[in-house]
A and B are shown apart, each in its own frame.
Chain A
Amino acid sequence: MMGGAWRRLKSDRYGMTGLFIVIVFSMVAVCVWSGLLGQGWSDVSGNRWESVSTTHWFGTNLLGQDILQRTLFGTATAFEVGLLVTFCSTLLGTVMGALAGWYSHGWLDEVILWLKGVLDSIPFYLFAAAVAFALQGIPWAMHLAMIITFWTTTARIIRGEVMRIKQREFIEAARAIGLPSIKIIFRHVLPNTFHVLLVQASIVFVAAINTEVILSFLGLGIQDGVSWGLMLAESSQEVLAGHFGNFVAAGTSLFVLLMGFNLLADALQDALDSRRATA
């Protein structure tokens, strides 16, 4: 089944472009984490607002820091936020959604739906600001705010999928061989939601990177280190003065990575659709 999905993905030119972009960016992130790239992001290596040159490919910023180094380091930040938030919120959303769907219309379902309803009714940026304020000084405040709010969408989708799947005959067959509910959920229900989960996770990944940029721009985001959001925040002053280095570097990186991811997510959705796979 996975083989067929890969074949379908390979024949999708947009999907492969997306995959290529994502691989390039993730390799940059890995190089930053392993200390090969972007380590000079905080060094003052030139004068203020130097223009593009062979030593500073994207010029320098207000303090004379190299913008290329900061962009590369920002890639790692973006991936760190994206991966962490995606992993945690998908895990939380899957478990909550699976429980709600399996015990649908029971008390557990009611509690989870109520929690989801409450979280969904708070304006997100207000909520992020509140969490950031409540957890001042803790570097994970922004991540936490995103995880707490992002799991609800995953949970809603998984709940629906589980409610659909649990009606199917192979679930009854699993009962007929004496499997307890909890094993049926994890061995037979959730593996059947895998294609939905993968697509949803890629959407969350994009949303997390996007949100990090906005929150950092608002001053609620990354506390130490540099991110594309912080660079865009810096550029809001510089662009008026005619210095486009930060703006172009961070904006383009953000645009290209998110577009690559969206292309990949779209292609994955088509390639993994089990209805097409069985047809």
Chain B
Amino acid sequence: MSCHALKVNDLSVWFETDSGRRQVVDHISFSINAGESTGLVGESGCGKTMTALAILGLLPTSGVGVSAASIEINGKDISSLNAAQRRAVLGRDIAMIFQQPGTALDPVFTIGHQISAVYRRHFGGSKKHLWQIMLDSLEAVGFSRAEKIASAYPHQLSGGMRQLAMIAMATVCNPVVIIADESTTALDNSTKSLILKQLERLQLQHKTAILLISHDLAMVRQSCRNVLVMYCGRLLERTDCQSLYSHAQHPYSAGLLSCIPQVSANRPPRISAIPGQVPSATDLPSGCHFAPRCIRVKPQCQQSVPHFDSEDDRAVACFRPLS
């Protein structure tokens, strides 16, 4: 078996609050192969971003607890590293693309300065060398006039161009894993496809593994091979994209899919929603967290937690899966 680019083993995140422990990520495990994209989908507040920040070790140290059996990048466990060793990995082996390209760039420095600073942080090099590396990375994401972009300040670029610059910044060190957290949510559809296309191209070139966090199922379908469905901090289903869309096994996945507005010529779009709301992390229902909203609920669902097999390629945490 080939080595996974990213392998997360038994990761948990919780908040310490006055009213007790709030579990936001509940013992999840998954892995991504080199050169593959995996989508992590779920409703807002289900713990997607927390998972990403926990992998990178960027959560605040006070009031937040993180535990993981291991988080491996190319077989190397980064969860046991100390702060300085971890910083050496961040940006070099694992990079993150943030949701808001407008605010994730420092407003007082040029794009070129910021991109070359990432490379200099990890590899050093002469000014001329850094400049060339930076221009290459800008050209690689599709900027034809890289020099001009390099000397621009973030506020002089449009949202899409900033996001491309963010991708150039994330890929300049040629990382093993890129985590893209809702990276295209703030962009319009054509810009979105452009960004995804560039990401895909870079991925093919460098065999990068991408964890694409999104609530946009249509986008995940376009660009990912595998998909993880998350709800209230737990993984409910893992499968390849094709089978999720053709026959989702978990009622929640099916519910999410039915929420994608269908546009067709001969009838007005129907918009459906999963009934009920995501429960608060302070009082999660016992048993399956989705049980109160589930149409196929059985008494068993409210008493015990369905098993999720983390080794299998296809897995579903449900007592009464569809199909």
Contact = CB atoms under 8 A, between A and B. Distances in A.
Interface of A: 1, 168-170, 172-180, 187-188, 191-192, 194, 274, 277-278
What 8 A-B pairs are tightest by C-beta distance, nearest first? Answer: A177-B91, A178-B90, A178-B87, A169-B103, A278-B155, A176-B96, A173-B104, A169-B104
A39 B86 CA distance: 62
Contacts of B106: 170, 174, 188, 191-192
A173 B167 CA distance: 12
Interface in B56-112: 56, 58, 83-84, 86-92, 95-96, 98-100, 103-109
A246 B51 CA distance: 73
A163 to B, nearest CB: 14
B24 interface: no
30 contacts: A1-B107, A1-B108, A169-B98, A169-B99, A170-B103, A170-B105, A170-B106, A172-B58, A172-B104, A173-B96, A173-B104, A176-B91, A176-B96, A177-B91, A177-B95, A177-B118, A177-B169, A178-B87, A178-B88, A178-B90, A178-B92, A179-B121, A180-B83, A180-B84, A187-B117, A191-B106, A192-B108, A194-B108, A277-B155, A278-B155
B270 interface: no
Contact of B90 (A168, A175, A277): A175
A178 B108 contact: no
Nearest to B91: A177
A115 B73 CA distance: 46
B245 interface: no
A77 B101 CA distance: 50
Contacts of A173: 96, 98, 104-105
A168 B169 CA distance: 18
B122 interface: yes
B166 to A, nearest CB: 8
Given A192-B108, A277-B155, A176 B58 contact: yes
A185 to B, nearest CB: 13
A243 to B, nearest CB: 54
Contacts of B87: 178-180
Given A188-B106, A191-B109, A192-B106, A178 B98 contact: no
Contacts of A192: 106-108
A175 B98 contact: no
B15 interface: no
A277 B105 CA distance: 16
B-side interface size class? 20 to 34
B108 A175 contact: no
Nearest to A191: B108
A169 B154 CA distance: 13
A176 B90 contact: yes
A171 to B, nearest CB: 9
A262 B88 CA distance: 47
A194 B109 CA distance: 12
Nearest to A190: B108
A176 B107 contact: no
B319 interface: no
Nearest to A193: B108
A170 B88 contact: no
Given A170-B103, A170-B105, A177 B90 contact: yes
B143 interface: no
B155 A176 contact: no
Interface in B115-167: 117-118, 121-122, 153, 155
Nearest to A180: B87
Contacts of A1: 107-108, 153
Interface in B10-48: none
Contacts of B84: 180
A174 B96 CA distance: 10
Nearest to B83: A180
B104 to A, nearest CB: 4
A1 B86 CA distance: 34
A138 B84 CA distance: 46
A277 B84 CA distance: 36
Contact of B91 (A172, A178, A277, A278): A178
B17 to A, nearest CB: 17
B253 to A, nearest CB: 30
Contacts of B88: 178
A173 B84 CA distance: 17
Contacts of A174: 106
A277 B155 CA distance: 9
A7 B107 CA distance: 19
A35 B108 CA distance: 40
B107 to A, nearest CB: 7
Nearest to A194: B108
Contacts of B56: 176
A108 to B, nearest CB: 14
A278 B162 CA distance: 14
Contacts of B109: 191
A116 B252 CA distance: 56
Contacts of B169: 177
A175 B61 CA distance: 14
A178 B122 contact: yes
B52 to A, nearest CB: 10
A177 B116 CA distance: 12
A274 to B, nearest CB: 7
A278 B121 CA distance: 28
A173 B96 CA distance: 8
